[in-house]
Structure 1
Amino acid sequence: MQHYFLGIDNGGTVAKAALFDETGAEIAIASETVPFSAPKPGFAERDMLELWQANCRIIREVLQKSRIPSKLIAGVACTGHGKGLYLWGKNERPAYPGIVSTDTRAWEYPLRWEKDGTAQTVYAKTFQKILACQPVSLVAWLKDHASEVIERTKWVFEAKDYVRFMLTGEAYAEITDYSGSGLLNIRDRSFDSALLEAYGLGDLYDKLPPLVHSTDLCGKISASAAQATGLVEGTPVAGGMFDIDACAVASGVIDEQYFCVVAGTWSINEYLSRRPVTDGNIMMNSLFCMPEYYLIEESSPTSAGNYEWFINFFLDKEKNEAAEAGLSIFEFAERMARHIAPEDCDLVFLPFLFGSNYNPEARACFAGFSARHTRAHMIRAVLEGIVFSHKTHIDKLLATRTPPLAVRLTGGAARSREWVQMFADVIGLPVETVLASEPGALGCAMSAAVASGTYRDLREAAAHMVKLGSRFEPDSAKAGMYLKKYKLYKDIADSLDHSWKGFSPQTPSTELPS
């Protein structure tokens, strides 16, 4: 009998559910935007119960679209955005609105901990730089500004762990997500009261759920969740995983031979290693969903979300022309960019709309405008700027190890052959695409396939469920030209460093792409 697996992916603004069969074929998908609010500068919050209701609706929609009987779904698993914070109260309701990973309210805490030595103390256990959007910073902010929220909190969740809790009624902390929280002792793979005390958060220890792994069985669909979603009561639910792990697994990155690059709202650049990188030059080490590996990560919110924003704000006329030509606006825009040779585009775009990998106060901008520049030049500059930002991260990763056999690319950029070729040319490495429209959902569905007993482990699941697309070799004739443009990009970003303090703090946009 054919078995099916449901993957549920809750990103920063969009909730998605996708059903896969044992070969990784996508049977049906549903999605819904879950907007967030910015009640104050730097805040990015969402209603946790609205998020749960949205998940119920998309699960029902997937079941309806697929026409697969719910009883044939052998397992369910969740993934979602990392960082952020979802607090469940002692009264069995949310203790506070959910906080998504673009929230910057706690920006002072990493600076404070760096200055007073806390960051250096905890690094020996966490192996990562502290970020304002991590749970550790957000909890510290709440303790100082709304202590009653912490007092009434029963469980500290990440996004996907909250959704799994609503599906099963059982509270767990899946280790890949919590290893990116700042709250977990990565060295010892455990929660650590001494680590929490170092932040001044010792009273948080009892609010952290029991730790589990990605492929562990973490409960079953409850009666109430079955009624709300249409799933069968008793269906196994796996631990699931952090979305960057899910994308890696769905890309077949299950050993140290490849890099995984995700070009979405966030620029995610990562590889697997049996040892953490602890020289302080890498942003984050976390625990991978295959316990023998660490996930070595460089990331920032500087990727394809900038391109979606540009198209939405500047290409209204082109949207109409694209519709008349029977093309998507992205296809139409990339045709425009194709008419501008890379050596003829001297316009530079810094993709810092939602944050930066240079300076937390930096903003997006175009540099080098002249009267000859057109929208086509601007499109090419946006595409190039996003790739240059990825290269900034990838160069840091390459400084820690030998080059990979190839880069496996997912996200919006992977849908454009021209853009994928640009990645290969700029990075100087072969780039392979992945045949998965929703790699996050596929990756966590693979953990459900293991937890349900269909596959022995994630390696076996990957052998059956991962499908690769095209391979793009770097064009050596363009290497010198792109290197010169990349240097100009970095020079402009560096030269503006002193200027950003003149701008007011960024407020997260409620129109942020997913």
Structure 2
Amino acid sequence: MSYLLGLDIGTSGIKAILISVEGRIVSTKTKSYPLTIPNSGWAEQFPEHWWEATKDVIKEIISESSIEAGQIKGLSLSGQMHSSVFLDDEMNVIRPAILWSDTRTSEECEEIYEKVGGLSHLIDYVSNPALEGFTAPKILWLRKNEPENYEKIKYVLLPKDYIRYKLTGEVFTENSDAAGTLLFDVIEKKWSSSLLTQLGIDGDILPPVLNSVDIAGRITESVAKETNLKIGTPVIAGGADNACGAVGSGIIKEGRVMVSIGSSGVVLAQANTPVADRKGRIHLFNHALTDSWYMMGVMLSAGMSFKWLKEKLYGNKIDYDKLTQLAGEVEPGSEGLIFLPYLYGERTPHADANARGVYFGISGKHDQRHFVRSLLEGVSFGLKDSLELIKEQGVKIKEVRAIGGGAKSKVWQQILADVLGEEINLLNVEEGPAFGAALIAGVGIGEYASFEEAVNEIIKVRETISPIPKNIEYYNSYYQLFRQIYFSLKDDFKKLKKLTRGWLET
């Protein structure tokens, strides 16, 4: 029996999944590691914690599965995008990694726009806008604020590329993760020498770029002793977490869309032809499929909004199942109550760090049930924002597949179908990016002839949620008002931030 191992280097922890080549899940293991917040808006982790956790989950999964190390024919990795690991000449970590969720680099984003001549020119170079989470502004921040550390840099690696280096001793990245650095020409699939020159960044600190299915190295003797893997086991390059999640959901054909409701919300559509949004509202990244791309919108507070409601408004006295049951007792539209899910600002479509959450239209007739349903509807409207932008780029939607915690709620499934106006397909496998990484490993070592073969054999639709026609029309009207409310409040959000900052500074 042959097996494949997938690893996902996430923000809260690592997940390892062992599958048979037929796609049967044999074992999954997770191990958490801490997040540090040295200052407001900062987010850092120690790469050493990732590495120790990686070794632990591999040892556990091999031990508890009672398989021989040689039966694992290959492994691959997924990882959080954008986060930056700075290494010196000895390949030692210079400082804690600056994560994708870190927002300290607003000034550096402005600096990027100034140096390249604005958004349009940046889109020409890398197909994406400058956002605080991306890698390039982190490098500029380090140069400005920690010049002594900047001078030590030999390489800047992304999290899964650092772990792959530790496994193999080889330094690489691959297209899908390089695409999230804001230094990579997404369309031409190479580092943007023109942008690097304008930013004054030495391209030698960036690793060589592979395809996701390329062999990036093999397990070393020392790592084999520490993990119980077999020496020489091939390690496939892998992909960014969203690319791997797309593979694990079967998003490998144009027209298929993944809607993921986790802490954040993601709407992702595979594309055979790269078309960048000239306004920078949605992302264009390289897919794990060679010579393929995906468009993606990200809302910051999807499941996180629901978590906020459960914990902060209801004091954890009502569980999620009961909350969604309450939401099901209210008619679509929540009797005129609309929720804007911008608790921590918003990324797509507004790229507005000042935006904040709003309950609009509260009246005396509204009770707990309305506040819950309105929140589920508001998050769904936010996801619709991304889907509509993807449609604007000429993508014809043929199928929508929903994954994540929100996809487990029958009430939320129906709301999502009604708001999007699309059938929602639920899948037989929901193991996320780690599962996608395992499939990438299978393609990389030749166990599967192609992604199509792997996906068609393993990933199946188990249920379809159809939209209710009268609700589609009703929600379309509410959606237009949802959109209008943001623009009506946009300037007031800025004023509110100034007021809040002034109060905190007194």
The TM-score range, normalised by the shorter chain, is over 0.9
**2:219 maps to what in 1?**
221
**1:512 maps to what in 2?**
none
8 Å CA contact 1:247–1:410 kept in 2: the answer is no
SS of equivalent residue, structure 1 residue 239: strand
Among 391, 395, 418, which residue is 1:398 paired with?
Answer: 391
TM-score, length of structure 2 as denominator length: 0.92
- 1:133-168 CA-partner distances (Å, limit 9, x unpaired): 110111111111112222212221112111211221
**1:152 maps to what in 2?**
152
SS of equivalent residue, structure 1 residue 423: helix
User: Aligned runs of 1:495-514 on 2, under 5 Å?
Assistant: 495-501=488-494, 502-503=496-497
Q: How many residues align?
A: 495
**1:178 maps to what in 2?**
178
CA distance in 2, matches of 1:240, 1:119: 30
**1:379 maps to what in 2?**
372
CA distance in 1, matches of 2:247, 2:57: 23
- 1:157-199 CA-partner distances (Å, limit 9, x unpaired): 1121112112212110111110121111223211243320122
User: Aligned runs of 1:185-196 on 2, under 5 Å?
Assistant: 185-196=185-196
**1:209 maps to what in 2?**
207
2:454 pairs with 1:461: yes
Question: Which stretch of the first structure deviates more once superposed, 184-193 or 428-437?
Answer: 184-193
CA distance in 1, matches of 2:243, 2:120: 26
Letter in 2 for 1:336: L
Letter in 2 for 1:347: L
Alpha-carbon offset, residue 447 of structure 1:
0.8
8 Å CA contact 1:245–1:288 kept in 2: the answer is yes
8 Å CA contact 2:286–2:293 kept in 1: the answer is yes
**1:322 maps to what in 2?**
none
Letter in 2 for 1:331: D
SS of equivalent residue, structure 2 residue 473: helix
CA distance in 1, matches of 2:421, 2:192: 42
Closer, same or farther in 2 for the Cα pair 1:62/1:417, shift >3 Å? farther
2:329 pairs with 1:339: yes
**Identity in percent:** 27
**2:433 maps to what in 1?**
440
Q: What is the Cα-based RMSD across aligned positions, in Å? A: 2.2
SS of equivalent residue, structure 1 residue 421: helix
SS of equivalent residue, structure 1 residue 60: helix
- 1:243-288 CA-partner distances (Å, limit 9, x unpaired): 1111211121211131122222232212222222135145221111
Alpha-carbon offset, residue 66 of structure 1:
2.7
Alpha-carbon offset, residue 310 of structure 1:
2.7
8 Å CA contact 2:259–2:268 kept in 1: the answer is yes
SS of equivalent residue, structure 2 residue 42: coil
**1:259 maps to what in 2?**
257
Letter in 2 for 1:82: M
User: Aligned runs of 1:7-18 on 2, under 5 Å?
Assistant: 7-18=6-17
SS of equivalent residue, structure 1 residue 299: strand
CA distance in 2, matches of 1:246, 1:345: 40
Closer, same or farther in 2 for the Cα pair 1:488/1:191, shift >3 Å? same
8 Å CA contact 2:414–2:467 kept in 1: the answer is yes
Alpha-carbon offset, residue 419 of structure 1:
1.2
Letter in 2 for 1:333: L
SS of equivalent residue, structure 2 residue 131: coil
Closer, same or farther in 2 for the Cα pair 1:11/1:368, shift >3 Å? farther
Runs of at least 5 residues in structure 2 that lack an aligned partner in the other structure: 502-506
Alpha-carbon offset, residue 9 of structure 1:
1.0
**1:471 maps to what in 2?**
464
**2:21 maps to what in 1?**
22
8 Å CA contact 1:127–1:276 kept in 2: the answer is no
Q: Which has the higher contact order (CA 8 A, sep 6+)?
A: 1
CA distance in 1, matches of 2:63, 2:443: 25
SS of equivalent residue, structure 2 residue 154: strand
CA distance in 2, matches of 1:317, 1:176: 38
Runs of at least 5 residues in structure 1 that lack an aligned partner in the other structure: 320-328, 508-514
Letter in 1 for 2:150: I
